[in-house]
Structure 1
Amino acid sequence: MEITNVTEYDAIAKQKLPKMVYDYYASGAEDQWTLQENRNAFARILFRPRILIDVNKIDMATTVLGFKISMPIMVAPTAMQKMAHPDGEYATARAASAAGTIMTLSSWATSSVEEVASTGPGIRFFQLYVYKNRKVVEQLVRRAEKAGFKAIALTVDTPRLGRRESDIKNRFTLPSNLTLKNFEGLDLGKMDEANDSGLASYVAGQIDRTLSWKDVQWLQTITKLPILVKGVLTGEDARIAIQAGAAGIIVSNHGARQLDYVPATISALEEVVKATQGRVPVFLDGGVRRGTDVFKALALGASGIFIGRPVVFALAAEGEAGVRKVLQMLRDEFELTMALSGCRSLSEITRNHIVTEWDTPRHLPRL
């Protein structure tokens, strides 16, 4: 079967993967309302394309924290990728590098920062969970820095793990042949089976619930790397993040896996962008499945987007080739959306290119 869009990998992954693994990747929290809304909210934003503009040449290149990338589409951190495919994070790293874009490696990767660095050149960010044992955190951040990672994406929406009912039903745990590689030598690499979700028990035991804004400042004392705060959904927190020294903000609801009934990230984006007043870049994570989604996010002020589930589903289906294809398909769709909207570069994408349900009725501007 010829794969023509990103979403088609989902069904293939579902066939290929053990139920426990597929459900872990695919599910959201509780009623999964936000999981649906992450997609549905994009569908309620419409285009106002401009015509008769010479779109023979389209430039999608941009810079993120000073690093040049080929397009504003990057790879989000997703845990335990070797559950999807034996090559796991190696394949994802190589695919992102080939696409000329950034990969974010999860703290809970099944390949270590050193292993991912060994796959060759590429711009990589490291997603950080703060453990109760701060020595562990310090060590990990130093290792990421030494391995050539360029930024820390600090996940701030997970003082406790969201209630993911399929993981409870399946008694999810990391398959016995795999470990959380970054913590292997620290006796934190294994996940015990539990009466409910093994991951939820692991988080309850290891992740620091006291994490607060002062820790964002503490992190800056142990690393020179820029810190992106991942998991912001309100203007209030965006302003505090800037005061706390964040180099950027990732609007994320953790793939709808934490608190259910938070808005879709595309719905929260504009409030966050307005609150930052252009002082730091804002990125969007969650629900992106089409090039049109990428355009909508940029029109609402995002500097770029991150994709999560499409990467693991494509990885499960076709390994590295699948991840390359996902990045290529999104790139091609985004380029076409730009052309058909009359935008030749990212700077030409404006708020006037879209209409949302919260817009006031328009009065035509005088030409």
Structure 2
Amino acid sequence: MRDAGLVRQSTVYRAGTLGRRPVVPTDFAELERRARRASSAEAWAYVAGGAGEGRTMRRNRAAFDRWAIVPRMAAGAVDRDLSTEVLGTRLTSPLLLAPVGAGALMGKDSDLAIATGAAATGTPYVFSNQGCNPMEECAAAMGDTPRWFQLYWSKDERLVDSLIARAEAIGAGALVVTLDTTVLGWRPQDLNLGSLPFAKGLGIAQYTSDPVFQEIAAERARQPQERPKVTLGAIRALLAMSRNHPGSFWANLRSPLPRASVETFLDIYSNPGLSWEHLATLKRRTSLPVVLKGILDVEDARRAFAIGVDALVVSNHGGRQVDNAVASLDALVEIRAALGPEPTLLLDSGIRTGADVFTALALGADAVLLGRPHLYGFALAGAHGVAEVIRNVVAELDLTMALTGARDIASITRELVREQPA
């Protein structure tokens, strides 16, 4: 992406002379405000909420604020090259879209729209294991644009293998195993509303489209089921399950399968007993590069590379799992210092702007994953909104490079940032 910043500025300003302002705000604060207005209470609690008192979310941002960029003058960085290589794939910029579960809370066919918006900008998308559209449909929407697949390790090993095989079949460039959600964290915003999207069949499309899961759920549906007490809430839940399950709404309403699928998902979607022994089996179960997401500790990072994984995503799950956890950026600095320049490290959690991307790269990230901002763009303007958020972030990264004298991604080094006194 050459001159991405100047092209983006020109597009916005030229439209402005004709009286047209951006549908998607160019700053994160306004983007978040408008997305909140466009969302239901349940959607906002799930997408924007964090664990406990929200200290980890605040710490993620405080970590970025502690580092200042040091502009360098008269460097003549007229042409900037934002491309980079990650796990053997050439990317147009060091930005990927993070997996976000149950995105349909913010709008219909969320994963398809995000895939389409990502493809419009050539940006890789990590398909969520808790997505609302099957990975095959999302892959078709992306064409040749790189895609990865996030794996939640199920209690059922056959299901794990089935999901891996499907990821290979859609041409995924990597398997991203999320380690930090073997159980859901304490999320008061959702709890106070009694709202869990998966309990209504939302965010389980990778499962209901999977042949192994279908087998397990069908067997459950054949067993005698206790009838829930008939209440208005129970009726609403049944209607939601029927609406979110594949197939005809009216046929689903008469079938035990939607409810059986939800209950099966809740029982087996993640394995609390996930261990390093499980993870060590991956290299013989798939030919895909293996990425572990959720690493925050140096010893865990060393152990991961010792069992042969290809990359790590340093992440605290956007502050959604453990309250008062270490900031992802702080963990990145420690892990990079301990492991040296060679291992591939990506950063997730807290990225909001192009300046944030620059800071993360300067502190040792090879690339970053953008989470909530792209979902906010989707809430405002569908696939177009996703693409606009990406263009804005990449444009700011490009202009920051121009103003600091960085001609390419390799030029974004530790010398271009400075830690500020507390």
Q: TM-score by structure 1 length?
A: 0.91
- The alignment's C-alpha RMSD in Å is 2.4
Are the equivalent residues in 2 in contact too, given 1:6–1:326 (CA < 8 A)? no
Cα distance, 1:178 vs structure 2: 4.1
Residue 17 of structure 1: SS of its match in structure 2? coil
- Residue of structure 2 equivalent to 1:44: 66
Are positions 1:331 and 2:394 aligned together? yes
- Residue of structure 2 equivalent to 1:6: 28
Of the structure 1 ranges 127-136 and 260-269, higher mean CA displacement relative to structure 2 is found in 260-269
Are the equivalent residues in 1 in contact too, given 2:156–2:268 (CA < 8 A)? no
Amino acid at match of 1:93: A
- Residue of structure 1 equivalent to 2:120: 98
Are positions 1:161 and 2:184 aligned together? yes
Cα distance, 1:159 vs structure 2: 2.0
Alignment partner of 2:152 out of 104, 129, 137:
129
Are positions 1:260 and 2:284 aligned together? no
Are the equivalent residues in 2 in contact too, given 1:7–1:310 (CA < 8 A)? no
**For 1:52-91, what aligned pairs fall within 5 Å after superposition?**
52-91=74-113
Are the equivalent residues in 1 in contact too, given 2:52–2:188 (CA < 8 A)? yes
Amino acid at match of 1:139: S
Are positions 1:314 and 2:377 aligned together? yes
> Would the alpha carbon gap of residues 203 and 219 (structure 1) be closer, same or farther in structure 2, given more than 3 Å must change?
farther
2: CA distance, partners of 1:110 / 1:257: 20
Identity %: 34
1: CA distance, partners of 2:421 / 2:174: 34
- Residue of structure 2 equivalent to 1:363: none
Are positions 1:215 and 2:238 aligned together? no
- Residue of structure 1 equivalent to 2:308: 245
2: CA distance, partners of 1:328 / 1:206: 34
Alignment partner of 2:161 out of 135, 138, 144:
138
1: CA distance, partners of 2:196 / 2:71: 48
Are the equivalent residues in 2 in contact too, given 1:294–1:334 (CA < 8 A)? yes
Amino acid at match of 1:147: I
2: CA distance, partners of 1:246 / 1:334: 29
Cα distance, 1:202 vs structure 2: 6.0
1: CA distance, partners of 2:89 / 2:98: 17
Are the equivalent residues in 1 in contact too, given 2:377–2:385 (CA < 8 A)? yes
- Residue of structure 2 equivalent to 1:362: none
> Would the alpha carbon gap of residues 231 and 177 (structure 1) be closer, same or farther in structure 2, given more than 3 Å must change?
closer
Instruction: Note the residue ranges of structure 1 that are not aligned, 5 or more in a row.
Output: 360-367
> Would the alpha carbon gap of residues 200 and 17 (structure 1) be closer, same or farther in structure 2, given more than 3 Å must change?
farther
Cα distance, 1:67 vs structure 2: 0.7
Residue 281 of structure 2: SS of its match in structure 1? helix
Are the equivalent residues in 1 in contact too, given 2:154–2:268 (CA < 8 A)? no
Cα distance, 1:247 vs structure 2: 0.3
> Would the alpha carbon gap of residues 206 and 28 (structure 1) be closer, same or farther in structure 2, given more than 3 Å must change?
same
Alignment partner of 1:227 out of 290, 304, 312:
290
Pick the structure with greater CA Rg: 2
Are the equivalent residues in 1 in contact too, given 2:97–2:125 (CA < 8 A)? yes
Amino acid at match of 2:30: E
Cα distance, 1:174 vs structure 2: 2.3
Residue 320 of structure 1: SS of its match in structure 2? helix
Are the equivalent residues in 1 in contact too, given 2:104–2:203 (CA < 8 A)? no
2: CA distance, partners of 1:90 / 1:327: 16
Residue 118 of structure 1: SS of its match in structure 2? helix
Q: TM-score by structure 2 length?
A: 0.79
Cα distance, 1:91 vs structure 2: 1.3
Cα distance, 1:179 vs structure 2: 5.1
Are positions 1:113 and 2:135 aligned together? yes
Are the equivalent residues in 2 in contact too, given 1:112–1:181 (CA < 8 A)? yes
Residue 160 of structure 1: SS of its match in structure 2? coil
* CA offsets 1:261-280 (integer angstroms, 9 cap, x no match): 11211111111112332332
Amino acid at match of 1:289: R
1: CA distance, partners of 2:350 / 2:264: 27
Residue 149 of structure 2: SS of its match in structure 1? strand
- Residue of structure 1 equivalent to 2:195: 172
Cα distance, 1:8 vs structure 2: 2.2
* CA offsets 1:104-139 (integer angstroms, 9 cap, x no match): 011000011111112122100001100100101100
- Residue of structure 2 equivalent to 1:23: 45
Are the equivalent residues in 2 in contact too, given 1:161–1:204 (CA < 8 A)? no
- Residue of structure 1 equivalent to 2:241: none
1: CA distance, partners of 2:177 / 2:377: 25
Are the equivalent residues in 2 in contact too, given 1:84–1:315 (CA < 8 A)? yes
> Would the alpha carbon gap of residues 45 and 114 (structure 1) be closer, same or farther in structure 2, given more than 3 Å must change?
same
The structure that is helix-richer by fraction is: 2
Alignment partner of 1:346 out of 409, 412, 421:
409
Amino acid at match of 1:325: E
